[in-house]
Structure 1
């Protein structure tokens, strides 16, 4: 179940909280596409002799919806000419509400895009303005109406909670608004204030601060419970879905399935080695991906730590037999610590799986860090 990630590193403006690699130099879009297509052609043998068809294609960013339907179609055609793509492949495009129109959405459907991830972030204008988003709440509602009117069914939205100026009840009222639409996927992320962002600057000036952990945990579980009432399955720390429509692309990451990432700052994994393209748009356009690509071979310890990190963030957790089979020596080292967390009721073991309890899942990152093999 291999996949391809396409990084679109362009945004009209910079949001106050975002530290993803991006550029506001939109005039470089056409040059970028030329180099992106070149990379896809040059890396057509990335998956080697594997005969499995591509199961997922994901356009992330940045803001992929800044690209015309013709550009999206060109990229997808290049992929299909150089990689075998499954007939039922999940093909996702991240979009901003203010980029959407009925005409654009109809054109996107014709390209083969069959899943949309909409960067709503909040249905309240005060939140959007303070976060530096370029759309307003009305545009979010209108874009959702257009999305379903034009025939898209597998649709997800992103929301952000833990905003310094807001409280849990205000955030949860976003779900009341969401309930008016047949959205099948929800990604809800707690705000993290990163040093290189506008919010990071405000934090250093003591003009902004994150809510304390106890308040954040209350919101997290209130979100979990309300989403469950709405028919959502909480299948990963930040992700919920209805009707089994989880993100197949992201789930492949968590299952350590090989994937190819194209574009500056994109990462790839072939099952043994990790690759990453340099975060430099100018170099990418002038010299192509190969001038800045780096690679490392993952050690058994690296693979074990990644397994812990990825699996324990999911509701299913990690398979004990699988861990013993692939990482027996490391399992023997961490088993006493696993049992310690089980006794404290932060982890639970059932049906051959170990996963976070209601008490432990919110702090699962700290538990994972405790279990990491460092030497």
Structure 2
């Protein structure tokens, strides 16, 4: 049986410190597929910034001593590129003042192609950003229009060139596949166009139609539906095989990188490091407890984060299940020895359940690590659910 070569390559060791996530909840318009918390009330950006800076100052003691050094700051959304350079400078200035930011920290910002120009990119560079994530989604105008994106294909190509011209080296893009009106040939062409650029990272997500989105409403009216699972699997392996030929390492179900430029920030999530999320709708984790800010822009603007913050102490089962879920979605998989040390009472049943998946060639074992085979990785979410401790 053919095997997934990237899953065999398990010698990569991730040693990342804590991170800070900045949720910028503004969008000029709503994309038809997106169910992240967002608001089109962009006129409140200055008021939002004031509350965001206060939250960063108030939560400066959030991190435990073991995770005191901050190695990544990630501006996501929403649309972070709706903040101007001076606003972004203020956020980073507070982080540098109040937190122990590592000198070589990864500073990422998600940007929309239609928000960028050479001056803005130059400003990002001077401010200290060293990683850019471009929300391309597709290089075809039809796809972009039907997804409700604001930019067009020409802008996508132009802004990638401008980003490299501004001196950024660590540049990645997002693509969406599994579009009901599209096909394999079109997605392959997207990958070929992507390969014309020296990109270091790719996040590729299969379209999921979520309730509450425009696509969700279209699905309810039977105007749209997800593609068949067989088609999804074919696209997944087309993506993997072509990206691998292009020199990308498929290091997590939806993420690929060149030259070992993994997303430090996202990888910290996957290995269970602490992270602080600020802004409405943002989540945080201190190693034991999970926190979340209420997804309510009005409350955040008028009362700050304190009035809407929620908290949950994770049970041992929760932490065990989360470690399984996050680990098995990566090519590195999970270390059974570590799992036994951390959760000694929960691994007997797990080992029996793992064995049945190994016997069916869905999971593989090497050097004490468990990870997905080529047959199993596409179905890994279902396998993880079966392994959960309830």
TM-score normalised by length of structure 1? 0.99
C-alpha deviation, 1:52, in angstroms: 3.6
> 5+ residue gaps in structure 1?
none
More deviation in 264-273 or 324-333?
324-333
Equivalenced residue count is 374
Change over 3 Å in CA distance of 1:51–1:297 after alignment to 2: closer
For 2:170, the equivalent position in structure 1 comes to 154
- Measure, in 2, the Cα distance between the counterparts of 1:296 and 1:177: 44
Q: 1:197 to 1:340 in 2, by over 3 A?
A: same
Q: Secondary structure at the match of 1:360?
A: helix
CA deviations on 1:313-338 (whole Å, 9 max, x unpaired) are 00110011111111122111221110
Match of 1:45 in 2: 61
Gaps of 5+ in 2: 1-16
1:1-375 equivalence runs, <5 A = 1-50=17-66, 52-374=68-390
Q: Deviations over 1:252-303 (max 9, x none)?
A: 0000000000001100000111000000000001000000001111110000
Cα deviation for residue 51 of structure 1 reads 6.5
Deviation digits for residues 34-78 of structure 1 (CA, Å, limit 9, x no counterpart) = 000000000000014347421000000000001100000000001
Alpha-carbon distance between aligned partners in 2 of 1:48 and 1:330, rounded to the nearest angstrom: 26
Distance 1:95 1:48 in 2: 31
Answer whether contact 2:18 2:67 (CA < 8 A) is retained: no
SS at match of 2:192: helix
Distance 1:49 1:16 in 2: 42
**Equivalent pair of 2:67/2:273 in contact (CA under 8 Å):** no
Say what the alpha-carbon RMSD is for the aligned residues: 0.7
Measured in 2, the distance between the counterparts of 1:263 and 1:52 equals 21
Paired with 1:30 and 1:129, the residues of 2 have a C-alpha distance of: 30
Distance across 1 between alignment mates of 2:271 and 2:226: 31
- The whole-number CA distance in structure 2 between the counterparts of 1:6 and 1:104 is 19
Q: Return the alpha-carbon distance in structure 1 between the equivalents of residues 279 and 338 of structure 2.
A: 33
> Could you tell me how far apart the structure 2 residues matched to 1:70 and 1:50 are?
32
CA displacement at 1:180 relative to structure 2:
1.1
Tell me how far apart the structure 2 counterparts of residues 133 and 52 of structure 1 sit (CA, whole Å). Answer: 38
Bigger RCO (CA 8 Å, 6+ sep)? 2
In the TM superposition, what is the alpha-carbon distance from 1:133 to its structure 2 partner? Answer: 0.2
Counterpart of 1:359 in 2: which secondary structure? helix
| TM-score using structure 2 length | 0.95
Q: 1:109 aligns to what SS in structure 2?
A: helix
Q: For residue 179 of structure 2, give the secondary structure of its aligned residue in structure 1.
A: coil
TM-aligned CA distance change 1:30 to 1:352, over 3 Å: same
Q: Secondary structure at the match of 1:216?
A: helix
**Distance in 2 between the 1:31 and 1:239 partners?**
34
Give me the whole-angstrom Cα distance separating, in 2, the residues matched to 1:325 and 1:45.
29
What SS class does the counterpart of residue 312 from structure 2 fall into?
strand
> Cα distance, 1:179 vs. partner?
1.1
Q: Distance in 2 between matches of 1:260 and 1:21?
A: 17
- Structure 1 segments (4+ residues) deviating >2 Å: 48-52
Separation of aligned partners in 1, 2:354 and 2:69:
37
Looking at structure 1, the residues matched to 362 and 67 of structure 2 have their Cα atoms a distance apart, in angstroms, of: 41
